[in-house]
Structure 1
Amino acid sequence: MNKGLFQKLLPHLIAFVVFLVVAVIYCKPALQGEVVNQSDVTHWKGSIQQSIEYKETHGQYPLWTNALFSGMPAFQIGYPANNHIPWYTHAILTLGLPKPIQFFFLACICFYFLCQAIRINPYLSIFGALSFAYATYNPIIIAVGHETKMWSIAYMPALLGSILLIYDRKYWIGAGLTALFTSVLLAMNHPQIDYYFFLVVAIMTIFFIVRWIRQKEMGHLLKALSFTLVAGIIGVLVNAVTIFSTYEYQKETIRGGHSDLVKAEKGDAETGLAKDYAFDYSMEKAEPLVMLFPRMYGGSSDKNEKAEDSKAVEAIQSLPPQLQQQLPLTFYWGGIGYTSGPPYVGAIVCFLAILGMFVLDSKHKWWIFTAIVLSILMSWGKFFESFNTVLYNVLPLYNKFRAPSMILVIPQLLLPVLAVLSLEKIAFTENQKELWLNIKKGLIATGAIVVLALLLYMSFDFLSNNDKEILKQVAASNQPQISQYLHTFFDGLKEDRKSLMLGDIFRSLGFMAVAFGLIYLLLKKSIKPVMAFAGFAVLGLIDLMPIDSKYLNADNYQEPTENESAFQKTQIDETILADKSYYRVFNVAGNAFTENITSYHYNSIGGYHAVKLRIYQDLIEKQLSKQQLNLPVLNMLNTKYLIQKDANGLTQNYQRNDSAMGAAWFVKNIRYVPSPMEEMNALDNFNPKDTAVIQEQYKSRVGNTPTTFAGDGTINLLKNDNDVITYESNSSSNGFGVFSEIFYDAGWKAYIDDKETPIAKVNYVLRGITIPAGKHNIRFSFEPPAYLMGHKITSIFSILMILLLASGIFMEWKNRKPNPKVS
């Protein structure tokens, strides 16, 4: 190999090896064949198993699944998409590495690319990449199974770097990569992370536009925006099959608007989540400081953050056994309510970012600062309601998302960028006199933040709202002995929380002091820049890894067989599954609407998904969550078996329900009601075998038929093939048929003898059609128009993206500068 070329490639090869080695060491059990026990992934496996089995026989996933919620579109679970290029790219970049190694490696590679796009020293880029990839939020979400979120976070820097290439006049290659990484980011299918990222891009672009206008670079402005816009559109439309389907689907879900049964609260958006729900998981105003002091608010809700010398544990052990089981031993006490851990970015990264605000020029720091400040304000959610309500009402699509605290992924991305820019400026600036003046200002700012943390430490009461509510209830109960017990416990818990906060303040202060020591040695020429950068990389890992390991460590791994144990069939399952008729089951043990284990083997009327159909959520809240089961509703949902699962997900008992209505039936009466509320209330006491309840707005779909029928005849299910369901009806007179399938107007079509017939919404969630006398073939076909259109558009724009990327590579090759000849 050419020696000059090897020298150029060497830093990148070193970076590649470092990223791989660190990920392998941290995730060592993965190389031994173990897998992370991720609760969300386990439940996802339950929801998609039916689709996987379908694919094995049909060659592709279905568009509709019967496995959960009595049936729903599979657009958010797994379905046949043709956006292949993003997934091929993803496969190449992850090198086929096992999870979770691939998550950390991918995040490092993408951030390293961003650093190279903005011309950061390769060895310094290693420090930035490691800091981004191992920020504590990443192992936390990996541990619980938020894989699509982690992939989306990992790809943010790659797309940011691609856009910055365009803004740096590398138009063609930047556009090609922008289109590619836009398509990959969207393919990961976490719209909320995508939304936050594009908000940052908008802020950055506004700052660049102002800069170009001031410098009178109008030609460059037009070129940069044109290339970025075209590339972005191409990248987006490569995923049209996903985006169009999701957009169409969300309009019928809890994200699309309020229930017709509940009057919207004042201030709620007409479409989207209710404001109170959207602002769930908001942060207290001081809480974003956990990016610098990780356990300032106690750390995690379900981890013992004080394994040794815990005053709360000591206190709880002295309490009566009945109280020990009732008291919440949770160290987290912030505004989110429940969290698996803090979004700690790293003391060293935060310190360097603060210095950067004083040592850097204005090219990047002000747009980064603006984006970080906005992210913090938005993370406050309900704790800064006046500001965030304006955003909720004004920002397009913002009211579709909840958990404002999630937006701190943006500082997690931008603080390391600011850190590496700052460190490079410090390392390679010749005018040290001015530099030292600016560093001193940064030290003063850092000191002010530490002082602020100490003042907060002295002013906090270290009690969550839930803690205060418990103490208030006990005080009102007039039970002095129990009150004394609780005060003893909470006094111990407060001491633990105070100890965690104060310990982390001094911990972070120590790391910042060591980081400043490295900077001092670097400026005094005592160490070379490469050695300083290596030192920062090692020091950064020493800072982050101990915190990371509290939330993702060897205890999170298990053998694959153990990981699949929740899906093992018991003898009870074998007995039920021997019934080959078409039916559904209902898990009556625990909450059937927070688990998908049942859906692995059965068609369940329960399930868990963040984007449920609105009408089915209404049914859950009004009928299926009652303490006493509403048997007629269970019957109309064809619930043939009531099962009981234990805490491990294994079926322990069952009861057969012989009154389940089956797949379809003729009714004798139609009862029209004027409103959704009356339709829901009618389900409180009705006989689904005899009566169908229909809103008057669907009367035209029933046709000019009487409201009473003979009710005789049969409707037999021939085959339910997920996307296509066929029946055979036979009756001596015209009738109205009710089908125990969920009504979804954006895709299902009904045909009688191949002639389309309208579908009415029946019994709030089911389908019904008018059926003429005689013997007929009936077919329901799932043909969502948005999916069909999106599939075609994806094919077209995939070709355009290949052409754009090829053009970018060609133009980069064409414009390369030849090496000067050496005499």
Structure 2
Amino acid sequence: MAKISGFRNILTNLGIILFFIVLSYAYLSPLLEGKVLQMPDIEHHKGMSKELVDYREENGEEALWTNSMFAGMPGYMVSVIYPDNLARYINGNIRKLFSIAGFLILYMVGFYILLMSLKINRWLSVAGAVAFAFSSYFLIILGAGHMSKANAIGYLAPVVAGVLISFRGKHLAGSLLLSAALSLELLANHLQITYYGFILIALLGIVELIFAIREKTLPSFFKAVLFLLAGAIVAVGMNFSRLYTTWEYSKETIRGPSELTSESENKTSGLDKDYVVQWSYGIDETLTLLIPNFKGGGSQVNPGVDSESYKALQRQGVQNPRQTIQAVSMYHGDQPGTSGPVYIGAIIVLFFVLGLYVVKGPEKWWLVAATVVSVVLSWGGNIMWLTSFLLDYLPFYNKFRAPSMTLVIAQFSMPLLGFIALNNILSGKVEKKVWLNGLKWSVIFTGGLSLLLAIVPGITGDFTNAADSMRFPDWLMDSVIADRKSMLRTDAFRSFLFIALASGALYLWHLKKIKATPFIALLALLILVDLWTVDKRYLNNNNFVPKRQAENPFPMTPADKAILSDTDLYYRVLPLQNPFQDARTSYYHKNVGGYHAAKLRRYQELIEHYLQPEMQKMVAGLQSGSAIDSVFRQLPVINMLNTRYLIFDLNQAPIRNPFPLGNAWFVSDFKMVGNADDEIKAMETFNPAETAVVDQRFIEHVNGISIAKESNGKIELAEYEPNYLKYNFEAENDQFTVFSEIYYDKGWNAYIDGEPIPHFRVNYVLRAMIVPGGQHTIEFKFEPKSYYTGNKISLASSLLLILAVAGYAFAQFRRRKALPENE
């Protein structure tokens, strides 16, 4: 009987997974028509990764470095494959098989595993999985193309399931599940989500420790911790190459410390504080968890042609009001902008509050603590006293921006507590009078608040934010406010309605008017309708385009064609329209700008101190009618980066810079400076064609050298690959040679005639070396030990996990086989 039951259990789970697949494709139905989701971040990724992808396809190996963004940077966080992490085959096949629907399926399957691990009713677990997966933020990030974030969220629930299983006594099973899920979680490569997952698990560990002390079960607690640590070590080992290279690189990026001492109060050992808190959730904005349009929805949401704003535009005689209304944003929250609210569902909030009354034990206190921590951290700059303290003292917290993202924890903890509560009620673990009292107060709190806001929305504030005065004239503002009030009133009543229906269904079950299974089905339907209809506001069929349109998001323009007609091996291009949030140029050219959240810090500081001011000077000079020669002579940093072309209009010929310094050149002098502050200041008045600025830490490379004031030598680039540069050098005397390449000593090695030779940093970001007189071949090779050593560790760890899982599965098979037929 046990064997038959086990077989039925497998078939049932397969049926549930099939239901998740069908539901995902029903939501993303244009996929069945051969269309693809148009995702801005994926379009950017295609631009930034083009050089790396092309190299991989042509050579069958990884370049690891790209010169197509920010004049050169490691490709670790752009597009690098780590071949010896065998978990990548699982993740890759899910994506190939299901396309974008795979993420929605992963959300549901992962949360279903978690609920089942807690012994929640199977059908209630299905409903809970649907509730978790269709939380608005999880769909919004799919529309934006935040694939690594979605992947990391999807694997978070199985990671937590492994921890819970181990703490409940099944140490080996929990450890193996944790190891497998965490390996995939880390493979997703969204360390911010993983970090929030660790916060969630840390809070669980603290609560479990408190209960273990109180119940005198410390040996079992520490045994579980040891098993979990072993599983985590294997998972980290599987991802060691990626983690090692990322850790090594991160110290040199804007997520690492700056050597400049200016604005020290805004600095951390990671990101600057003002950059971290730009996207902070408003304190009152937290009510979007209950009412989606509490702050007007997303920044691109407009009131439509039936609105008071549209009528005001018509009264004012505005031409083409249908077009103008598109610029009237209903969002009035604290963030600079948002694609949509974090809405977990009015029904989920109802049952989360009910869980405060009916759930006992460590799960309750863990999930309540996680929710509170999540919400408070999301406020970011709105409680700067706390955020500043955490940025200074909480390990790694300052490596991540956008505090609003911490609400991912609440989107996990609130439905989990809610469905634990429902399971306790349906299974009879809670006395009727207790849960009925809890239901009464939960409805009063959630439904009453929703109804109050529906009746008197004005009590929430004035429905404006700081940006409104710059966006809307006075004659329009009253109408905008009226439309925002109307949106809140409508959605508040909507939430009240779903709360009334869900609580009414539970009460009907209590009265035995419906049985448990129909009640769960009705509840799941209500939750799905609630979330589905809100999600469709932000991710719908309009987000899909024909596949051919998405394959090349950057059609070639006249400017691109003109630049590409220049067949020299290597030069750089600078777009003048939003250059440092631009991946389009990287699709075709070696970009001085780019689009990436982890650019090298020194390059970011070069942008702020020189590139942006030089661009402004250049534009002003050209607009004033100054001669091109006189304008470009005054742009030393742009010139030292070998910027040959500037794009000001994609449909017109580019501007050609007459004075780029080329791939390499000789200088006749150098200036030694004491630190980074002096180094960047010295560049205010230097001529990079003649002088190099050298930090004193590299004094050993230039001590005692004799530099020829004039040189009849030459150096030219002979071969180019993103990770390999070859130069032909010829000169009578030793030459102080500067290369227009970004200095990064965690992998770039220099060779003269095949022999290693040291190189050093000059001009804040560039490479240089002293080359002896004569004829030589100079090579730069990108050979990061962190990548190659890490891959060996990843392979060993992958094999270890495979053997451990296979051994456990074999042991379980033999145990089941040995069971008597009637058990």
So what's the TM-score if we normalise by structure 2?
Answer: 0.93
- The 3 A distance-change label for structure 1 pair 594 and 772 is same
Instruction: Indicate the residue corresponding to 2:490 in structure 1.
Output: 503
Mapped partners of 1:283, 1:623: distance in 2? 33
State the shift of 1:693 in Å.
2.4
Amino acid at match of 2:63: P
Which residue in the other structure is 1:87 paired with? 88
Question: Hey, what does 2:617 align to over in structure 1?
Answer: 628
Query: Could you report, residue by residue, the CA deviation over 1:215-259 in whole angstroms, capped at 9, with x for unpaired residues?
Result: 222331121010011111111121111111111111111110236
Instruction: Go from structure 1 to structure 2 and tell me whether the alpha carbon gap of 1:102 and 1:493 turns closer, same or farther (over 3 Å shift).
Output: same
**Whole-Å separation in 2 of the counterparts to 1:51 and 1:95:** 20
Q: What residue is the counterpart of 1:561 in the other structure?
A: 548
Q: Cα offset for 1:514?
A: 0.1
**How far apart are residue 436 of structure 1 and its match?**
2.2
Q: Secondary structure at the match of 2:513?
A: coil
1:602 equivalent in structure 2: 589
C-alpha deviation, 1:375, in angstroms: 0.6
Q: How does 1:65-84 map to 2 (within 5 A)?
A: 65-84=66-85
Contact persistence 1:709–1:735 (CA under 8 A):
no
Residue of structure 2 equivalent to 1:16: 17
- Tell me how far 1:448 sits from its aligned partner: 6.0
Question: Are 1:702 and 2:702 matched, yes or no?
Answer: yes
Query: The residue matched to 1:540 in structure 2 has which SS?
Result: helix
> Counterpart amino acid of 2:759?
I
AA matched with 1:766:
L
Contact 1:582 1:662 in 2 (8 A): no
CA distance in 1, matches of 2:671, 2:556: 43
SS at match of 1:606: coil
Aligned: 1:415 with 2:404? no
Q: Is 1:538 the equivalent of 2:538? A: no
Q: Deviations over 1:443-500 (max 9, x none)?
A: 34435654785777414011112225x39xxxxxxxxxxxxx8222111111111111
Distance 1:736 1:821, change over 3 A: closer
**What is the Cα deviation at residue 102 of structure 1?**
1.2
The change in CA–CA distance for 1:36 and 1:618 in structure 2 (over 3 A counts) is: same
The 3 A distance-change label for structure 1 pair 605 and 434 is closer
CA distance in 2 between counterparts of 1:792 and 1:3 reads 43
User: Partner of 2:293: helix, strand, or coil?
Assistant: coil
Alignment pair present for 1:313 and 2:313:
no
How many angstroms apart in 2 are the aligned matches of 1:94 and 1:48?
18
Q: Distance in 1 between matches of 2:460 and 2:351?
A: 28
Asked if the contact 1:747/1:783 (under 8 Å) is kept, the reply is yes
Change (3 A) 1:253 1:78: same
CA 1:263–1:573 in 2, change beyond 3 Å: closer, same or farther? Answer: closer
Q: Which moved more, 1:754-763 or 1:515-524?
A: 754-763
Mark the CA change 1:534 to 1:658 in structure 2 (over 3 Å): closer, same or farther.
Answer: same
Say whether the 8 Å CA contact 1:670–1:708 is kept in structure 2: no
1:615 aligns with 2:602: yes
Deviates more, 1:694-703 or 1:715-724: 694-703
Displacement of 1:811 in angstroms is 4.3
Q: Show the 5 A alignment for 1:403-552.
A: 403-429=402-428, 431-447=431-447, 449-450=449-450, 457-468=458-469, 470=470, 486-552=473-539
Aligned to 2:647: 643
Distance 2:591 2:404 in 1: 33
Letter in 2 for 1:785: K
AA paired with 1:670? F
Corresponding residue for residue 157 of structure 1: 157
Q: Does 1:283 align with 2:281?
A: yes
- Matched with 2:387 is 388
Residue 575 (structure 2) pairs with residue 588 (structure 1): yes
Separation (CA, whole Å) in 1 of partners of 2:311 and 2:418:
42
Letter of the 1:734 partner, please give it. D
Separation (CA, whole Å) in 2 of partners of 1:566 and 1:486: 36
Deviation track 1:546-601 (CA, whole Å, cap 9, x = no partner) reads 11011111111111222245422245433432322123343434111111111111
Q: Distance in 1 between matches of 2:296 and 2:463?
A: 9
One-letter amino acid of the structure 2 residue matched with residue 423 of structure 1 = L
CA distance in 2, matches of 1:93, 1:233: 25
Pairwise CA distance, 1:365: 1.2
For residues 292-347 of structure 1, give each alpha carbon's deviation from its aligned partner in whole angstroms, at most 9, with x where no partner exists: 1111011111122x325322233244447699979962211111121000011011
Q: Does the 8 Å contact 2:575/2:593 carry over to 1?
A: no
1:296 is paired with a residue whose SS is helix
Partner residue, 1:103: 103
CA drift of 1:670 comes to 1.7
Change (3 A) 1:751 1:317: farther
Is the 1:333–1:464 Cα contact (8 Å) retained in structure 2?
yes
Aligned residue number for residue 211 of structure 1: 211
Q: What SS does structure 2 have at the residue aligned with 1:653?
A: coil
How far the C-alpha of 1:118 sits from its partner, in A, is 0.8
Deviates more, 1:148-157 or 1:653-662: 653-662
Unaligned runs of 5+ in 1: 472-484
Conserved in 2, the CA contact under 8 Å of 1:258 and 1:273? Answer: no
Find the aligned partners of 1:697 and 1:706 in 2 and give their Cα distance: 19
CA distance in 1 between partners of 2:347 and 2:427 (Å): 19
**CA distance in 2 between partners of 1:769 and 1:88 (Å):** 43
Give secondary structure in 2 for the equivalent of 1:60: coil
Contact 1:667 1:689 in 2 (8 A): yes
- Secondary structure of the 1:295 match is helix
Distance 1:791 1:446 in 2: 51
Q: Which residue of 2 aligns with 1:353?
A: 352
CA gap 1:317/1:634 in 2 versus in 1, 3 angstroms: farther
CA distance in 2, matches of 1:435, 1:820: 41
Distance apart, 1:95 and its partner CA: 7.0
Q: How many Å separate the matches in 2 of 1:704 and 1:583?
A: 33
CA shift, 1:409, in A, is 0.7
SS of equivalent to 1:767: strand
CA contact (8 A) 2:752 2:778 kept: yes
TM-score (norm 1): 0.93
The more displaced of 341-350 and 799-808 is 799-808
Structure 2 residues without counterparts, runs of 5 or longer: 619-633
The answer for the alignment partner of 1:476 in structure 2 is none
Deviation, structure 1 residue 803: 2.7
* Aligned-partner SS, 2:86: helix
d(CA) in 1 for partners of 2:267 and 2:672?
30
Runs of 4+ aligned structure 1 residues displaced above 6 Å come to 322-327
Alpha-carbon distance in 2 for matches of 1:365, 1:575: 64
Q: Output the CA distance in 1 between the equivalents of 2:693 and 2:267.
A: 30
More displaced 10-residue stretch of structure 1: 421-430 or 609-618: 421-430
C-alpha spacing 1:707/1:748, structure 2 compared with 1 (3 Å): same
Equivalent in the alignment of 2:60: 59
In the alignment, the residues of structure 1 paired with residue 282 and residue 561 of structure 2 have an alpha-carbon distance, to the nearest angstrom, of 50
Kindly provide the amino acid, as one letter, of the partner of residue 282 in structure 1: S
The answer to whether 1:342 aligns with 2:341 is: yes
- Which deviations, in whole Å up to 9, do the C-alpha atoms of 1:402-444 show, x marking residues without a partner? 1000000111111111121111112121742343233334334
- Once the two structures are overlaid, the 10-residue window that deviates more, 168-177 or 81-90, is 81-90
Percent identity of equivalent pairs: 35
| SS of residue matched to 1:85 | coil
> SS at the partner of 1:197?
helix
Alignment check: 8 A CA contact 2:443 2:503 kept? no
Match of 1:264 in 2: 263
Question: How far off its partner does 1:82 sit?
Answer: 2.9
Q: CA deviation at 1:674?
A: 3.6
Q: 1:577 is aligned with what amino acid?
A: L
Instruction: Quote the residue 2:761 is aligned against.
Output: 761
Partner secondary structure for residue 715 of structure 2: strand
Q: CA-to-partner distance for each residue in 1:113-165, whole Å, 9 max, x for gaps? A: 11111111111111111111111001211111111101111111111112111
Q: Summarize deviations over 1:273-301 as a string: whole Å, max 9, x none.
A: 12222112111211111111111011111
Alignment-derived partner of residue 294 in structure 1: 292
